Structure 1
Amino acid sequence: MPSSFRGLPPIVWTIFAGTIINRLGYLVTPFLVFFLASRGVTGADTSYVLGALGAGNLLGPAVGGILADRIGRRPTMLIGLIGAASAQGALFLAPGVWTMAAAALLISAAGSTVSPAAFALLADAVDSDRRQRAYALFGWGVNIGTAVAGVLGGYLAAVGYWLLFAVDAGSMLLFALVVAVRLREPKHTPTTEAATDGIGYGVVLRDRLALLLLPLFGVQLFVYSLTEVALPLAVHDSGLSPAVYGAMAAVNAVLVVALQPFATAWLARLPQLAVQSAGSALIALGVALTGLADGIAGYTLSVVVWSLGEVAVAGIAAGVIANLAPAHARGRYQGAFSWTWGVARFAALTLGVATYTTLGPATLWWTALLAGTTTAAATLALTTRVTRRTTHTLAA
């Protein structure tokens, strides 16, 4: 194991292992369109269910951040995992489009409450110097589980869609068992700030530096999310088969799983925001190169470029936000960050696709390049303020 992950406490490794288990069951969402078609749901009705799934990712993080600070990290994770597992069964058994949409909303809302609580728990468990590495390990677990799930899902779907739901729900319940048995709620000493800040997001909204960083990270996440949304459209419009997109996804998975631990160890010696800015610019360049690709070689090059950027930025944004947060509000800061991530993905699904189909692919690729590089430069410009703030927080 690379040195970057050595010395992390057992709680971090427990969350890492549980995350792999959970993501191994990430099967329903990638195959949801195919499942809906098997139930006779097509066209506009499909968009209602997918829209509800996206909307849940906006609701869940906000609720999860508040619950993590209010009732605790561990109970919030259990509520999210058990709730999402129950919703999987509800979706499979739903008799109509609107009940399917309601179940899809619950799946994503409950499932996305877990990340703010898990991220806050990681921040509680390690000091500021190791948080980026802890978050990078968490992200590595996501990628390992997702890569295996991509292969497993195709096989199970061919046997029967009920298996997708059973494995997805089962993996969530197994992670919940890990949380219940292996994790312990950290003890927090009540403070004056905790009493005066209340339980809402006012503590984040009053933080000017966080309000500068979150939109910048949001735009960068939007550009990255185009790899899941616009890339398959581009591959399709090039006359290539869906298997080519599957191969591109495999290239990304292999690169990230193989390189991330070593990249984290090597890049840990460099200033975090400098690495974040460089990686975000690399992602933007890779996404923009999609517009120049017209064959397998071109698409492979673009995937390699943005995958290297993805490897570079792993865990940095979440770590920076965690270092800005007072101890009593870590859940809400991570809730705000997770909500930003949800908004970015929702915008990619809506604005990104609309730009591609109405204004043309070139407009989307140039916009991605400009947005990614501009926000990378703006993030780098905040280095001094972030360093001064985090140094002061640690000294206090």
Structure 2
Amino acid sequence: MVTSFRGLPRTVWTVFAGTVVNRLGFMVTPFLVFFLAERGVTGSDVGYVLGALGAGNLVGPAAGGLLADRIGRRPTMLAGLVGSSAAVGALYVAPGVWTMAAAALLLSATGMMVSPAAYALMADAVEPARRRHAYALFGWGINIGTAVAGVLGGFLAAHGYWLLFAVDAASMLLYAVIVAGRLEETRPEAKEEAATAAGSGVGYGVVLRDRLLLLLLPLLGVQLFVYSLTEVALPLAVHDSGLSPAVYGTMAAINAILIVALQPFVTARLARLPQLRVQAAGGVLIAAGVALTGLADSIAGYAFSVVVWSLGEVVVSGIGAAIVADLAPADARGRYQGAFSWTWGVARFAALTLGVTVYTSLGPAVLWWSALAGGVLTAAGLLALRARVERRTTAEPTTYTKPSRETVAA
């Protein structure tokens, strides 16, 4: 195994394996528009279902982070996985638009409960110096599974959309089995909570009182918004260039191949550098790649832009979640990761709404230049916060649950 991930606790490898399994079945959401068209859902009705799907991305992380601290990481992951599996089935059998929207809301909300709990669990089990590696491995698993699911999903859809729903639901249940059988609860004990974060309570007040985190999350959110444009505005640009949908599929494949091939090596090379500096540089690289989309009008041009922002994606992988974990009190890690995942949900929702509106109303050039400016400005903001973040994480290191020798992967 690649040295950058060697020595991580078994807990992290178990989450990685479950994530790969789960993402191998991630097929319903990418093909949802095609499924809705087959069911006769068109026009504004499609917007209702997709809007509900986006709204769940805002509800799920907040609930998942809160529950991870209140009832535990493992029960929250199980509830999210079993709930999203049931929601997939409900979406398939839903008889009308509003029942489809309700099922879509449940699907995204329960699915988004899992990540904050998984992030908190890994923060509990990994020392601060290795958290970025753990989160990068988690992201690597997402990309491995997604890359395969994209190809497999197209094949299954041609033989019946029910296969997409069946495989998606089965992958969630299989991940739940892995969680139930292979993971142990890591939530800090009450006496440790009192020692590390007295008065943090059970709500999100502890997050809202953290001024440094409240400065950091919007900056990360803008970077995530710029990155999310690759899923939203890139296909619009490819279409407007007169190229076929297959070209966008090729671009997605280039991105997946680069991530899977480069992630372990880049993580190892950059691990010793200051995290916020790397995050800032990677954010600028992503923004530059997105901006280059506006100059592309051929397959080669789009491929070059994808290579640039994909390299930025590799550079920043795992850093945001690791910084948030380092800032969090031990008993509030779930809520801190819930706030981070919520920021991600807001960014994607904004890309679907604001990003598309700017592209269609003000013109593509405005969006591309705005993305570049946003990337540069947020990088400057992150560098301005570097001293405060380092001072706090050095002076007040958070505790973690040290793994036993038996739980460390060879």
TM-score normalised by length of structure 1: 0.99
Work out which of the residue numbers 232, 243, 250 in structure 1 matches 2:246: 243
Work out which of the residue numbers 254, 259, 277 in structure 1 matches 2:262: 259
Structure 2 residue 56 is the aligned partner of structure 1 residue 56:
yes
CA distance in 2 between partners of 1:325 and 1:292 (Å): 41
Query: What SS class does the counterpart of residue 95 from structure 2 fall into?
Result: coil
Q: Counterpart in 2 of 1:90? A: 90
Post-superposition CA distance 1:136-194 (Å, at most 9, x none): 00000000000000000000000000000000000000000000000000252223365
Q: Counterpart in 1 of 2:148? A: 148
Structure 2 unaligned blocks of 5 or more: 400-410
- Contact 2:72 2:187 survives alignment (8 Å): no
Q: Counterpart in 2 of 1:157? A: 157
CA distance in 1 between partners of 2:79 and 2:364 (Å): 41
Structure 2 residue 123 is the aligned partner of structure 1 residue 123:
yes
- 1:378 is displaced (CA, Å) by 0.8
- Contact 2:328 2:398 survives alignment (8 Å): no
Q: What amino acid is aligned across from residue 21 of structure 1 in structure 2?
A: V
Post-superposition CA distance 1:234-259 (Å, at most 9, x none): 00000000000000000000000000
Q: What amino acid is aligned across from residue 288 of structure 1 in structure 2?
A: A
- 1:2 is displaced (CA, Å) by 2.1
Structure 2 residue 290 is the aligned partner of structure 1 residue 287:
yes
CA distance in 2 between partners of 1:300 and 1:212 (Å): 35
CA distance in 1 between partners of 2:276 and 2:270 (Å): 11
Q: Counterpart in 2 of 1:223? A: 226
Query: What SS class does the counterpart of residue 199 from structure 1 fall into?
Result: coil
- 1:395 is displaced (CA, Å) by 8.1
CA distance in 2 between partners of 1:186 and 1:165 (Å): 32
Post-superposition CA distance 1:103-128 (Å, at most 9, x none): 00000000000000000000001000
Alignment of 1:313-324 (within 5 A): 313-324=316-327
Query: What SS class does the counterpart of residue 396 from structure 2 fall into?
Result: helix
TM-score normalised by length of structure 2: 0.95
- 1:4 is displaced (CA, Å) by 1.1
Work out which of the residue numbers 366, 390, 393 in structure 2 matches 1:390: 393
Change (3 A) 1:47 1:334: same
- 1:329 is displaced (CA, Å) by 0.1
Q: Counterpart in 2 of 1:360? A: 363
Query: What SS class does the counterpart of residue 26 from structure 2 fall into?
Result: coil
Q: Counterpart in 1 of 2:27? A: 27
Change (3 A) 1:235 1:324: same
Query: What SS class does the counterpart of residue 198 from structure 1 fall into?
Result: coil
CA distance in 2 between partners of 1:101 and 1:146 (Å): 24
- Contact 2:124 2:187 survives alignment (8 Å): no
Change (3 A) 1:32 1:212: same
Structure 1 runs of 4+ aligned residues shifted over 4 Å read none
CA distance in 2 between partners of 1:376 and 1:390 (Å): 20
- 1:198 is displaced (CA, Å) by 1.5
Q: Counterpart in 1 of 2:405? A: none
CA distance in 1 between partners of 2:239 and 2:125 (Å): 45
Q: What amino acid is aligned across from residue 25 of structure 2 in structure 1?
A: G
Q: What amino acid is aligned across from residue 182 of structure 1 in structure 2?
A: R
Post-superposition CA distance 1:63-88 (Å, at most 9, x none): 00000000000000000000000000
Post-superposition CA distance 1:350-389 (Å, at most 9, x none): 0000000000000000100000111011101211111100
Structure 1 unaligned blocks of 5 or more: none
Query: What SS class does the counterpart of residue 382 from structure 2 fall into?
Result: helix
Q: Counterpart in 1 of 2:345? A: 342
Alignment of 1:66-85 (within 5 A): 66-85=66-85
CA distance in 1 between partners of 2:74 and 2:23 (Å): 19
CA distance in 2 between partners of 1:172 and 1:189 (Å): 29
Change (3 A) 1:187 1:36: closer
- 1:34 is displaced (CA, Å) by 0.3
Post-superposition CA distance 1:273-297 (Å, at most 9, x none): 1110000000000000000001111
CA distance in 2 between partners of 1:243 and 1:310 (Å): 23
Structure 2 residue 278 is the aligned partner of structure 1 residue 275:
yes
Say how many residue pairs are matched: 396
- 1:206 is displaced (CA, Å) by 0.5
Q: Counterpart in 2 of 1:14? A: 14
User: Identity across aligned pairs (percent)?
Assistant: 75
Change (3 A) 1:294 1:90: same
Q: What amino acid is aligned across from residue 382 of structure 1 in structure 2?
A: L
Query: What SS class does the counterpart of residue 12 from structure 1 fall into?
Result: helix
